[in-house]
Amino acid sequence: MAVVTFRMIPLLAAIAMIGLPAQARDDGRYANSPLKGWFESLHSKAGGPCCADADGTALDDVDWDTRDGHYRVRLQGAWIEVPDDAVITEPNRAGRTMVWPYYVNGRALIRCFMPGSMI
């Protein structure tokens, strides 16, 4: 029987999270969207897929900004800094600011973020 030390717990948790499936919400309503293929091709710099338009959340201009050279978003009433490797740098064909969050133990983390015009 293997003994797990406290130092191994973060490593084991990270390994377990790698295998977790993304919770997709695409119920078919976007199947005919001309941007469907583009949304599905989006990947963060970390290499992970952002998923589809149905998985993202469109943000109002008051729910995102920059601070200290980094983007941040407001989700569930709290400001969350967007990791640099989660920012989509290609042109935003959708035109609206979008974020693809995922949740771990009730805490929102950012899979991908695509800034809008912020005009």
CB 66 within 8 A of CB 108: no
Q: For the chain, list the domains and their CATH numbers.
A: 25-114 (2.40.50.180)
The pTM of this model reads 0.67
pLDDT tens, residue by residue, 69-119: 999 999 989 999 999 999 998 888 888 999 999 889 988 999 999 998 755
3-state secondary structure 25-89: CCCCCCCCCCCHHHHHHCECCCCCECCCHHHCEECCHHHEEEECCEEEEEECCEEEECCHHHECC
